[in-house]
Structure 1
Amino acid sequence: MMSLFKKIKQAYHLYKEIDMDALGKLSEKVDLPEVMKAFGKMDEKQLHGLMKMIGHDGKHKELPPINADFYQVSELLTDDERTLQLKVRAFMEKEVKPIINEYWLRAEFPHELIPKLAALNICGVTYKGYGCPGLSNVMEGALAMEMARIDSSIATFFGVQSGLAMGSIYLLGSEDQKQEWLPKMQQMQLIGAFGLTEPEVGSAVAGGLTTTAKRNGDSWTLNGQKKWIGNSTFADVIIIWARDVDDDNVKGFLVRRGTPGIEVEKMEDKMALRVVQNGLITLKDCVVQEHDRLQNANSFKDTAKVLRMTRAGVAWEAVGCARGAYESALAYTRERKQFGKPIASFQLIQNHLVEMLSNLTAMQTMVFRLSQLQDENKLTDEHASLAKVFCTLRTRDIVSRAREVMGGNGILLQYDVARFVADAEAIYSYEGTKEINSLIVGRAITGFSAFV
């Protein structure tokens, strides 16, 4: 009787020589049910060894798995955290990856994903109460990375909803405001936006907001413009930050959808984060009631609490964008052949891949420690700023090398890396430019402020 190994090896080589339409011919030569039954009784170690033996004939080479977590940072997560991380990864790969290039090309948002994303029950990841999970900041960062690993736009949408919008209410709202908004926002029944940046004011928002708020009894009148406001074209509530003309302090307001005096125009022709629906907001005598003013937002120092909390998430997003580009490039180089061999076997390609992995590994360990500091209530502005500077800089380098090893195909949307290259540019700039974040760190380490 033919040995089991010989049967399996024969089946394997016959399979390599035929297409699926000729599967019937294989069954005439090999007892397929018996072979499959034998396979089913093997454990993972036996199967691994068997496949390794089959590869010794020179016609098959078993490649190592594509693993961007080279230092096994994910092993620092608890079992429950790791399970949730993989659940979100599966969602992104199954629900988002097949459709996102089409939406990116059209600059539209896949609204049908919102209820599916809500079903993951991860919105307001770190908040306690109001239906929020109350998980660690490390977990929040890992989830941001998983989203950006497939698409930075979805990660940005989620960051605005869960971080900036909900975070403003969670940190600075009254208890009544929290009860009204957070449970429904956590389930994504209501969508939020965060209106801080202005057409002529980006880095100077701390003291240069031109949007004004004037109190008149139990209401406030808002006038001005906001620009680059993600989610604003379809948000149910927009957090508008404005300068109180009476005390010159920055205050926050909950502007509800349909409020008279607010208009939102979708920004067109972006080269990055095209799925994110950024809006140009115009406020003209927009009246907001006092009960819709964030009750604990009384100066820009309060606004900065929200930015400090979310800046760490942007660093994690940068890691995810870089990871997606690296994994796509590595997979491509192992399949793409030139001169009769996979280009992954060439020295210069391997050098690019190793430099990409080196930067990515440094970024992963950095943001993990950053979120640990946040969980320990030790996070400072300079901690978050340093991570934002380093990770977004390295991401630009990684996506550039990913595009490099893919040659001309690197600029085609179908291979995903082109999208990562473009989106990395937006991540590099938002939530504080490289220059502003550098000055925050510089002030901390020198004791001198170089801000104008």
Structure 2
Amino acid sequence: MANIFSSLKNAYNLFKHVDFDKLEALSKKVDLPKMVETISSLDDKQIQGMMKMMGGSGKKRELPPIEGDFYHLGDEALKDEDRQLQLKVRAFLEKEVKPIVNHYWNKAEFPFEIIPKLAELNICGLTYKGYGCPGKSNLMEGILAMEMARIDTSISTFFGVQSGLAMGSIYLCGSETQKQQWLPLMQQFKIIGSFGLTEPEVGSAAAGGLTTTCKKIGDKWVLNGQKKWIGNATFADILIIWARDEGDGEVKGFIVKKDNPGFTVEKMQDKMALRIVQNGIITLTNCEVEEVDRLQNANSFKDTAKVLQMTRAGVAWQAVGCARGAYENALEYTRTRKQFGKPIASFQLIQNHLVEMLSNLTAMQTLCFRLSQLQDQGLLKDEHASLAKVFCSLRTRDVVSKAREVMGGNGILLEYNVARFVADAEAIYSYEGTKEINTLIVGRAITGFSAFV
């Protein structure tokens, strides 16, 4: 009797999980007795292989981490202290920025609530010495620019305008009094800055074609003209305005306060890229600026170019971040998106796209690492920064395009992030000097001939 109950129990355990409706449907398609006989003739290794193929091995597949720094450049180049700062900034961006960025990008508004939190990181004016600034390396600054752009290029651009273009103009071209007055407050984000060089009809020709003018009258300067595409302009407290002196024809820089008489700003609408960045059209109508607010060491466009050279390296790093964000989002998507019963990351053509993306990204990273090393060694030249800007902005376009491609139709949906990177890559491609202008800077350096008109 005990044997009978044991047999019944085994039979129950064997069949209690069987879906008999499916079994009946299967019996109409295959010869079940023959299939059972065939399977029973397999050895253990063959059965394990079959179960693995069916996804029944019982072991959870452990996928490699999603890591855009394939050559581990950050691990090798950074001191422990700097590596911890990088990870701290990354954690901040993942927690505070990533969850809200699509909402603000879609509305073309700026998330002002993150500014005090950014200030707590103590990374503004990262490379400057004194004035409350950390005095870190240019390499560290580049890596943090990448980290920001990896989550959102708009936030990285806002930070670059504040920390690089606006503060950099005062740091490189201001008097000691001006540095003491403005830099500590800007470093803490208590004062927001902007940088006004580009004009409605003057972009690449800024070196010799500025139409905004300044004229010395007594102890004041009177500015007239317009500026366009000016990031942070709608809410900045001070704006660095570059204008051509009617007296000597040279370009000079001014610290213009938002409440200066004759200063107005209008927000630009309907952008398809960097929608979080609040770009403005500035109009200066007999705008009076005190002599004490003229940048005392900005006496020609060569001084303006010093600021642009410094920040152009940062834009190359932004391109790396934009590409890295697109690549990592695309890689994660392909590992979870299934077609034909398995993740699309297992398909050869998808893997080919991913490897091409990673190849471009890794080349960009290694170039920018060397660029920042040159900058830290005091060896950076215009052509070095321009070559990085040309190469990285071009390759970023390619990376984001392939990221969008492997995601199919979902690649154009904002919720999957890559669409934002695709759009923002177009802005990176154009600002801080177009491909053509930066190409001619490099061409002049390697040939000895200037092809500028």
TM-score when normalising by structure 2? 0.87
Q: Match of 2:102?
A: 101
Q: Match of 2:61?
A: 61
Once the two structures are TM-superposed, the CA of residue 62 in structure 1 deviates from its matched residue by 0.7
Structure 2 distance, partners of 1:121, 1:187, is 7
Q: Secondary structure in 2 aligned to 1:112?
A: helix
Number of matched pairs:
399
Task: Identify the range of structure 1 (370-379 vs 69-78) with the bigger mean alpha-carbon deviation.
Answer: 69-78
Once the two structures are TM-superposed, the CA of residue 343 in structure 1 deviates from its matched residue by 0.1
Q: Match of 2:360?
A: 359
1:223 equivalent to 2:198? Answer no
> What amino acid sits opposite 1:57 in the alignment?
S
1:120-159 Cα shifts (integer Å, max 9, x gaps):
0000000000000000000000000000000000000000
> What amino acid sits opposite 1:205 in the alignment?
A
Q: Match of 1:163?
A: 164
Structure 1 distance, partners of 2:79, 2:374, is 17
Once the two structures are TM-superposed, the CA of residue 59 in structure 1 deviates from its matched residue by 4.8
Q: Match of 2:323?
A: 322
Q: Match of 1:25?
A: none
> What amino acid sits opposite 2:200 in the alignment?
P
Q: Match of 1:147?
A: 148
Alignment of 1:113-262 (within 5 A): 113-262=114-263
Structure 1 distance, partners of 2:56, 2:309, is 55
Structure 1 distance, partners of 2:335, 2:430, is 33
> What amino acid sits opposite 2:289 in the alignment?
V
Structure 1 distance, partners of 2:289, 2:374, is 38
**Unmatched tracts of structure 2, length 5 or more:** 1-16, 18-54
Alignment of 1:287-366 (within 5 A): 287-366=288-367
Structure 2 distance, partners of 1:445, 1:71, is 30
Q: Match of 1:7?
A: none
1:293-348 Cα shifts (integer Å, max 9, x gaps):
00000000000000000000000000000000000000000000000000000000
Structure 2 distance, partners of 1:174, 1:379, is 24
Q: Match of 2:278?
A: 277
Q: Secondary structure in 1 aligned to 2:405?
A: helix
Structure 2 distance, partners of 1:423, 1:311, is 17
> What amino acid sits opposite 2:343 in the alignment?
P
Q: Match of 2:46?
A: none
> What amino acid sits opposite 1:74 in the alignment?
G
- Percent identity over the alignment? 79
Once the two structures are TM-superposed, the CA of residue 58 in structure 1 deviates from its matched residue by 4.8
Structure 1 distance, partners of 2:67, 2:294, is 47
Q: Secondary structure in 2 aligned to 1:333?
A: helix
Q: Match of 2:434?
A: 433
> What amino acid sits opposite 2:209 in the alignment?
G
1:84-122 Cα shifts (integer Å, max 9, x gaps):
000000000000000000000000000010000010000
Structure 1 distance, partners of 2:395, 2:359, is 10
Structure 2 distance, partners of 1:430, 1:115, is 27
Q: Match of 1:449?
A: 450
Once the two structures are TM-superposed, the CA of residue 160 in structure 1 deviates from its matched residue by 0.1
> What amino acid sits opposite 1:115 in the alignment?
P
Structure 1 distance, partners of 2:232, 2:108, is 13
1:401 equivalent to 2:418? Answer no
> What amino acid sits opposite 1:436 in the alignment?
I
TM-score when normalising by structure 1? 0.88
1:372 equivalent to 2:373? Answer yes
Structure 1 distance, partners of 2:66, 2:167, is 36
Structure 2 distance, partners of 1:254, 1:182, is 12
Q: Secondary structure in 1 aligned to 2:70?
A: coil
Q: Match of 2:74?
A: 74
Q: Secondary structure in 2 aligned to 1:189?
A: coil
Q: Match of 1:83?
A: 84
Q: Secondary structure in 2 aligned to 1:253?
A: strand
> What amino acid sits opposite 1:69 in the alignment?
D
Structure 2 distance, partners of 1:183, 1:223, is 30
1:243-274 Cα shifts (integer Å, max 9, x gaps):
00010000000001100101000000000000
Computing the radius of gyration over CA atoms, which structure comes out larger, 1 or 2? 2
**Unmatched tracts of structure 1, length 5 or more:** 1-16, 18-54
Q: Match of 1:390?
A: 391
Once the two structures are TM-superposed, the CA of residue 57 in structure 1 deviates from its matched residue by 2.3
How big is the alpha-carbon RMSD for the aligned residues of Structure 1 and Structure 2? 1.0
Residues 451 and 257 of structure 1, relative CA distance in 2, 3 Å threshold:
same
Structure 2 distance, partners of 1:214, 1:56, is 80
Structure 1 distance, partners of 2:318, 2:234, is 23
Q: Secondary structure in 2 aligned to 1:379?
A: coil
Question: Could you list the runs of 4 or more consecutive aligned residues of structure 1 that deviate by over 6 angstroms after TM superposition?
Answer: none
Structure 2 distance, partners of 1:423, 1:333, is 22
> What amino acid sits opposite 1:355 in the alignment?
E
Structure 1 distance, partners of 2:362, 2:375, is 20
